[in-house]
């Protein structure tokens, strides 16, 4: 039998017959953008094939080379980022990007020797210095063969206040209605979409080819903490949120002609499939169906909730021929400090014991971020952290997990 070999897995373990790749994509072999670039279509097909393979899952990390908790040294920004004795956090700065400095530091790489398979970034407010840095680091990640994904914690376009409702002192009522077409702040929000479009249309590799990436707008839209969510303060409706998601996709894809994006929707924890689908904008607007699932404490929620969540997510995604993913996960309040085997016991074990839950493309941890005053927010261990050995030996070394060196065929 003729086979195609994607170089995925520590010993080229993912050896999939050509016919299998065809079967996996019979109902929708293309992304929702019919004019997507060739590179974007290839990424889409390989992500889908990987998701349907229950023996492999990619690991991702947000801001992996932008922020970190260990190894900081000049020219990285390190002032005030010392913690836990003499451990030195770091921030990759604009001057490093402009000078072509290598992105040598990564808490993932410090523990495992490899970068994550998925590298996540945030458009935030499109501040010039941050955009220069993120673009530079995202291009380096792509050159290594990593999958690139972007979210956006955008300030409220109506009030100018925080993305978080509780931190905004302005009038957030009906924010989403007010930024949709016909709303009094649509022009303001459209300026943000134009910035995304301009950026995406210039996000190119060394050959001048557009780089494909996943865009995950309005993440956790079923929660009440962001202005794009469901809360008493905003009084946004589920239909408002679906309309906004559709507007984002149609404006970028159809009005501005951006064709190197795969679109991901990622509600927070959901109780039932209907609970998830109440904010789902429709199959014509989504490539990747994700969810964000955080543990508050070791048994809150119980691991059985994640199993049920992933089973439901895979059911919904496969029924629509979409790509399921665990788009954010971890344990709150630096739980990794005392729950050293968290990534094995609370994440990987579920995937290894439930072949349905395992049919997801990737799991992604949030950023290790040091704030000063000897404080850091941690989601994965850093080199020298008490959980380092458990993460490396039980999670990274498991044949199921894929890091950057094991996905060299993802764009082929």
Cβ 247 vs Cβ 294: under 8 Å:
no
Q: From the candidates 70, 220, 318, 388, give the one annotated as an active-site residue.
A: 220
C-alpha distances out from residue 114 to 87, 141, 397, 403, Å: 21, 12, 11, 7
Kindly report each contact of residues 240-244 with a partner whose C-beta sits within 8 Å and lies 24 or more positions away, as own/partner: 240/176, 240/177, 240/180, 241/176, 241/279, 242/279, 242/280, 242/281, 242/282, 243/176, 243/180, 243/281, 244/176, 244/179, 244/180, 244/218
Measured from the Cβ of residue 300, the count of other Cβ atoms closer than 10 Å reads 10
Q: What is the DSSP string of 20-84?
A: HHHHHTSS--S-S-TT--HHHHHHHHHHHHHHH-TT-EEEEEETTTTEESS---TTSB-TT-EET
Cβ 316 vs Cβ 289: under 8 Å:
yes
Cβ 42 vs Cβ 412: under 8 Å:
yes
Which among 5, 88, 2, 96 has a CA at the least distance from the CA of 408?
5
Cβ 295 vs Cβ 330: under 8 Å:
yes
Give the sign of the dihedral formed by CA 370, CA 375, CA 379, CA 383: positive
Question: Strand pairing partners for 204?
Answer: 210
Q: From the candidates 30, 39, 318, 328, give the one annotated as an active-site residue.
A: 328
**Catalytic annotation on 220?**
yes
Cβ 230 vs Cβ 241: under 8 Å:
yes
DSSP state of 155: P
The residues annotated with a catalytic role in the active site are 220, 328
């Amino acid at each position: 039998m003729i086979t195609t070999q994607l170089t995925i897995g520590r010993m080229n373990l993912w050896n999939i017959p050509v016919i299998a790749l065809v079967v996996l994509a019979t109902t929708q072999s293309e992304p929702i953008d019919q004019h997507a670039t060739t590179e974007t279509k290839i990424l889409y097909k390989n992500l889908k094939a990987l998701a349907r393979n229950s023996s492999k899952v990619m690991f991702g990390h947000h801001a992996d080379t932008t922020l970190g908790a260990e190894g900081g040294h000049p020219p990285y920004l390190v002032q005030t980022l010392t913690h836990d004795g003499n451990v030195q956090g770091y921030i990759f700065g604009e001057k490093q990007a402009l000078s072509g400095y290598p992105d040598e530091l990564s808490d993932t790489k410090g523990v495992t020797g490899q970068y994550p398979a998925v590298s996540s970034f945030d458009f935030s407010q499109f501040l010039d210095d941050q955009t220069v840095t993120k673009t530079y680091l995202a291009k380096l990640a792509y050159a290594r063969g990593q999958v690139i994904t972007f979210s956006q914690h955008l300030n409220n376009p109506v009030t100018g206040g925080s993305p978080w409702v509780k931190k905004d002192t302005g009038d957030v009522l009906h924010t989403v209605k007010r930024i949709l077409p016909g709303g009094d702040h649509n022009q303001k929000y459209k300026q943000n979409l134009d910035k995304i479009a301009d950026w995406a249309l210039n996000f190119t590799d060394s050959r001048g080819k557009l780089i494909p990436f996943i865009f995950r707008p309005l993440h956790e839209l079923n929660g009440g903490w962001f202005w794009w969510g469901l809360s008493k303060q905003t009084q946004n409706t589920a239909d408002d949120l679906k309309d906004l998601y559709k507007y984002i996709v149609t404006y970028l894809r159809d009005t501005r002609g951006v064709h190197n994006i795969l679109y991901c929707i990622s509600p927070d924890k959901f109780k039932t499939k209907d609970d998830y689908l109440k904010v789902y904008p429709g199959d014509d607007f989504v490539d990747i169906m994700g969810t964000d699932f955080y543990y508050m404490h070791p048994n809150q929620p119980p691991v059985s909730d994640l199993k049920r969540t992933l089973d439901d997510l895979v059911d919904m995604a496969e029924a629509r021929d979409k790509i399921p993913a665990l788009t954010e996960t971890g344990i709150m309040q630096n739980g990794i400090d005392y729950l050293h085997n968290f990534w094995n016991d609370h994440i990987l074990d579920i995937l290894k014991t439930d072949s349905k839950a395992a049919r997801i493309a990737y799991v992604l941890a949030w950023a290790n971020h040091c704030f000063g005053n000897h404080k850091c927010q941690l989601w994965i261990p850093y080199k020298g952290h008490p959980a380092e050995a458990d993460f490396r030996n039980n999670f990274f070394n498991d044949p199921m997990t894929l890091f950057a060196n094991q996905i060299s065929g993802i764009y082929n």
